[in-house]
Amino acid sequence: MLKYILTFLAGVVSASALYIFVLKPMDDRVSWQGGFHSGMVEAQFDMARRIPSALGSDLHRADLLHADSPGAVLTNVFLQVKDATILVVERNGVKTLRDYDSNPKD
């Protein structure tokens, strides 16, 4: 009986080692390459870089909506990728996008 238990435990240990050291790293690499080559983050970052020249870069403190208090979060974020944050602002009833650079002009 002990022989069967030890054989079973050896099988579990070898299957776990195979998964941890071979299958999981391969799956992680394939997943990372799939996300890297899709270009979604790069496209969003490219769009964020083009917004100030296309729509303007005049962001006022009133556009930040409740972000003046310490520890507050921005509530009107349209896109946030890498170090770029794009906000939706409304002026005279028209909604537009502005680049948030943490130094709004007043």
Alpha carbon of residue 24 to chain centroid = 23
Return the structure tokens found at 98.
């502005």
pTM of the model: 0.50
Q: Kindly report the average pLDDT of the chain as a whole number.
A: 79
Give the pLDDT mean for 24-53: 80
Return the structure tokens found at 4.
């069967």
- Annotate 22-79 with DSSP letters as a single string: IIHHHHHHHHHHHHHHH-HHHHHHHHHHHHHHHH-----GGGGSS-SSTT---S-EEE
pLDDT digits (tens, 9 = 90+) for 46-79: 888 888 888 877 777 766 665 555 555 666 788 8
DSSP conformation class of 21: I
Residue 86 to residue 52: CA distance in whole angstroms:
10
